[in-house]
Amino acid sequence: MQLINLKETDTQLVKLIEAVAGGEEVIITRSDGTAFKIVRVGAVEAIPKFGSAKGLVIMSDDFDEPLDDFEEYSS
C-alpha cells in the first residue's frame, strides 16, 4: 500500500495510476487528515444510441426480389 500526500500527487499521478492498475492500493491524504483511495474501475461499455448507424448500411434496390437460384422451389 502506498500512502502519499495530496501535494505530491501532481508530479506522480501517472505512476500512481499504473500502481493501481497493477493491483496495488494507493491512499492519498490531505493536510486535514482526510484520506482518499484510488480504485480501478472496470472498462466502461459504450451504449449505442438509437439511429447512430444511420447511413452506414446500404441495401441494393433489388434486395426483396426473389433469387434466381430458388426459382424451382417457389413453384
Looking at the domain assignment, is residue 1 inside a domain? Answer: yes
Domain that holds residue 13: 1-46
CA 66 to CA 29: how far, in whole Å?
71
pTM of the model: 0.51
Tell me, what CATH number does 3's domain have? 3.40.1620.10
Block means of pLDDT (10 residues each) for the chain, length 75 residues? 81 89 92 92 86 89 86 77
Looking at the domain assignment, is residue 52 inside a domain? Answer: no
Looking at the domain assignment, is residue 27 inside a domain? Answer: yes
Looking at the domain assignment, is residue 8 inside a domain? Answer: yes
Owner of C-alpha cell 495510476: 17
- pLDDT at residue number 25: 94
Strands (E), the chain: 2-5, 26-29, 35-38
Number of domains in the chain: 1
